[in-house]
Structure 1
């Protein structure tokens, strides 16, 4: 079981991002070809490209949290003594987790409204609930990846800065 879940856990966001970005690129390319070569437009390609872009953004955000590539000014923080650096990182992660929880609540309420009062996309006619579900999926994954960083950090003895490899703590370089 672990043999199958390991690669899925390590590459899930990457795979979804790659698929979504590929779908988006193909749709935009098809739209350009249709407009400039055939003088006609596809009705559905813009909608699919927009949905794929939103999915890629949320999956990319989760990937960036997992890899600690999200927006931070770590260079300045890493110049501080390690206890202060750790405190700043803990505070920032706590605020990010609180934001994710807040957005999960709001997103869940939004999806409940969409489930009750169905709305369809203009070109494809699909229920808006399905593409909009990325809000709950994305914020859940971001929160889970944030928790995962701290579980791994705690299992490693809680040394250093959470989510940073020990060999990079002196240079401030992130993994």
Structure 2
């Protein structure tokens, strides 16, 4: 893979997540300053902050799947022999993939409704389709990152626990 696609693949979620968190923090800070210093409110800041928060959450979830930081008690899994631990991880990832597929189906249907019957955000007046598209984008990215973990794992001959770095596997080497 050349440098630019690799850069995009490695940092897209990080950049979007950092940008969304920054936008959220700035909007909340501006709102606090406006309310307490100027005794006025920005009607749009709460809406922008909430949209940015949802985007940050989904991008962060995808990033966590890629880096294997998502919710799972790896310390407990690593207490088992590697073969059993591998099956626990595989089963958990299978459930996560099924959940993402189901959410993708529901999210696509939801966006279809929003496309047919447009709704607009209260303060900004933008079409709800655009901020709500994170539902499809987020679940699709999570699913793709989950598949990516297994593709990389299989390229490494399927040794160890999928997505786990070698230093963690040493702790679980009692088979």
Question: Shorter-chain TM-score category?
Answer: over 0.9
Q: Which runs of 5+ in 1 are unaligned?
A: none
Give 1:2 shift: 1.8
Structure 1 residue aligned with 2:128: 128
**Within 5 Å, which residues of 2 pair with 1:82-121?**
82-121=82-121
- Secondary structure of the residue aligned to 1:170 is helix
TM-score by length of 1: 0.96
CA distance in 2, matches of 1:75, 1:160: 15
Alignment correspondent of 2:66: 66
Cα deviation, residue 3, structure 1: 1.3
3-state SS in 2 of match to 1:169: helix
Number of paired residues? Answer: 172
Name segments (4+ residues, structure 1) moved above 2 Å. none
- Structure 2's unaligned 5+ residue stretches are none
Counterpart-to-counterpart distance in 2, 1:23 and 1:124: 15
SS at match of 2:171: coil
RMSD of Structure 2 on Structure 1 (CA): 0.9
Q: Which residue of 2 aligns with 1:21?
A: 21
CA distance in 1, matches of 2:92, 2:129: 32
Give the Cα–Cα distance (whole angstroms) in 2 for the partners of residues 154 and 166 of structure 1: 15
The Cα of 1:168 is off from its aligned counterpart by 2.1
SS of 2:119 mapped into structure 1:
coil
